[in-house]
């Protein structure tokens, strides 16, 4: 691991993830990091239904497990610390988002989706269909050629489809969420050619631990869990007239595939890279986008 790894604290990462969420998802972030309104207006009946269900579920847990006042106060203290550490995006994206995605995508045609996670950043540099993700000179890691094609559900190619890609580096760190990394390192928006094809040169990412020196790490330690995510590529794939696909692609036989802390791995999303003639590995993966909802 590099010195950058040591300096990438949970507090700094959490603060960056919180600020990014408030800016990108709600547009409401101010200098204090506060937001005055939810991302979208929701019917009060729906709010009543969901909030009541969540609170009732908490009540049921307390009764079923005979929660003590000491345990209640420990929870209360921990919840306050999650907010102070800026780790609500991390907590929700790791332990909750995969079920929201499962519900949202259960009837969608085409390639499987999975969680976005807390480290997405919009407006990455635009790249042609054959491209290399921005990276540092001598970027550590095994070179990877990631290629494939984007089609609609009926099989027709989707020229001009946009593949937003982002990934951790060989230290498991993301640009814009850890110090000392160029802003757009291993991030880009690749545009498919007239036949919907793309070929992207990058490096094969490494597994990484979610930040463990903050509140989420204290929960993991107290519960005896591990904090690791398997190596993965992040993608958002979009084309006019089609639903945007948010997904992650993993690597066959990779560490933590079966025990991902975020429960986001699906069999359909596991790649099987093969040695490339020029060194490194290569893999082909095609994306099928569902038509836009009417």
From the list 120, 174, 250, 256, the catalytic residue is 174
> Could you tell me if 83 and 170 lie in one domain?
no
Residue 183, Cα to own-chain centre: how many angstroms?
Answer: 18
Asked if residue 287 lies in contact with residue 237, where contact means CB atoms within 8 angstroms, the answer is yes
pLDDT of residue 6: 41
From the list 234, 242, 250, 256, the catalytic residue is 234
Domain assignment present for 119 = yes
From the list 208, 242, 250, 256, the catalytic residue is 208
> Could you tell me if 111 and 137 lie in one domain?
yes
> Could you tell me if 109 and 171 lie in one domain?
yes
User: In 3-state terms, what secondary structure has residue 107?
Assistant: coil
Q: How many residues does the chain have?
A: 294
* Residues 6+ positions from 185 with CB-CB distance below 8 Å: 134, 135, 136, 139, 169, 175
> Could you tell me if 53 and 162 lie in one domain?
no
What CATH number is associated with residue 183?
2.60.130.10
Indicate the pTM of the whole model: 0.85
How many Cβ atoms sit within 10 Å of the Cβ of residue 76? 10
Domain assignment present for 94 = no
From the list 229, 242, 250, 256, the catalytic residue is 229
> Could you tell me if 57 and 122 lie in one domain?
no
What are the distances in angstroms from CA 14 to CA 11, 69, 70, 79, 203? 5, 29, 27, 14, 25
> Could you tell me if 41 and 146 lie in one domain?
no
Is 208 an active-site residue? yes
Is 232 an active-site residue? yes
Domain extent, residue 55, equals 3-87
> Could you tell me if 135 and 216 lie in one domain?
yes
> Could you tell me if 69 and 179 lie in one domain?
no
pLDDT, mean over the chain: 90
Q: Rounded CA gap, 38 and 250, in Å?
A: 33
> Could you tell me if 115 and 58 lie in one domain?
no
Predicted confidence (pLDDT) per residue in 204-247, tens digit? 999 999 989 999 999 999 999 999 999 999 999 999 999 999 99
pLDDT grade for 30, boundaries at 50, 70 and 90 = very low
Asked if residue 184 lies in contact with residue 122, where contact means CB atoms within 8 angstroms, the answer is no
Predicted confidence (pLDDT) per residue in 166-217, tens digit? 999 999 999 999 999 999 999 999 999 999 999 999 999 999 999 899 999 9
Is 256 an active-site residue? no
Is 226 an active-site residue? no
Query: Is the model's pLDDT at 3 over the cut of 90?
Result: no
Domain assignment present for 98 = no
From the list 232, 242, 250, 256, the catalytic residue is 232
> Could you tell me if 123 and 203 lie in one domain?
yes
Q: Rounded CA gap, 93 and 85, in Å?
A: 15
Domain assignment present for 72 = yes
Q: What is the mean pLDDT of residues 129-155?
A: 97
Q: Rounded CA gap, 17 and 118, in Å?
A: 6
Is 174 an active-site residue? yes
């Amino acid at each position: 691991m590099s010195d950058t790894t040591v300096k990438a604290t949970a507090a700094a990462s959490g603060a960056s993830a919180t600020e990014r969420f408030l800016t990108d998802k709600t547009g409401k972030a101010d200098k204090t990091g506060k937001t005055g309104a939810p991302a979208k207006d929701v019917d009060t009946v729906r709010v009543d239904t969901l909030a009541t269900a969540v609170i009732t579920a908490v009540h049921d847990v307390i009764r079923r497990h005979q929660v003590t006042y000491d345990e209640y106060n420990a929870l209360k203290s921990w919840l306050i610390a999650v907010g102070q550490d800026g780790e609500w995006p991390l907590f929700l994206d790791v332990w909750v988002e995969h079920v929201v995605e499962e519900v949202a995508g259960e009837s969608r045609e085409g390639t499987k989706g999975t969680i976005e996670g807390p480290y997405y950043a919009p407006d990455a540099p635009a790249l042609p269909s054959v491209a290399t993700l921005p990276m540092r000179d001598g970027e550590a890691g095994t070179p990877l050629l990631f290629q494939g094609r984007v089609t609609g559900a009926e099989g027709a190619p989707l020229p001009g489809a946009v593949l937003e890609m982002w990934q951790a580096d060989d230290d498991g760190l993301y640009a814009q969420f850890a110090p000392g990394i160029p802003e757009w390192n291993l991030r880009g928006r690749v545009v498919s050619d007239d036949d919907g094809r793309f070929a992207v040169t990058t490096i094969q990412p490494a597994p990484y631990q979610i930040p463990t020196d903050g509140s989420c790490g204290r929960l993991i330690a107290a519960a005896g869990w591990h904090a690791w995510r398997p190596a993965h590529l992040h993608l958002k794939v979009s084309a006019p007239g089609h639903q945007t696909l948010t997904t992650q692609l993993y690597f066959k036989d990779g560490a933590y595939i079966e025990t991902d802390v975020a429960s986001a791995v699906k069999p359909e999303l596991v790649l099987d890279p093969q040695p490339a003639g020029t060194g490194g590995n290569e893999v082909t993966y095609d994306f099928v986008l569902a038509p836009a909802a009417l």
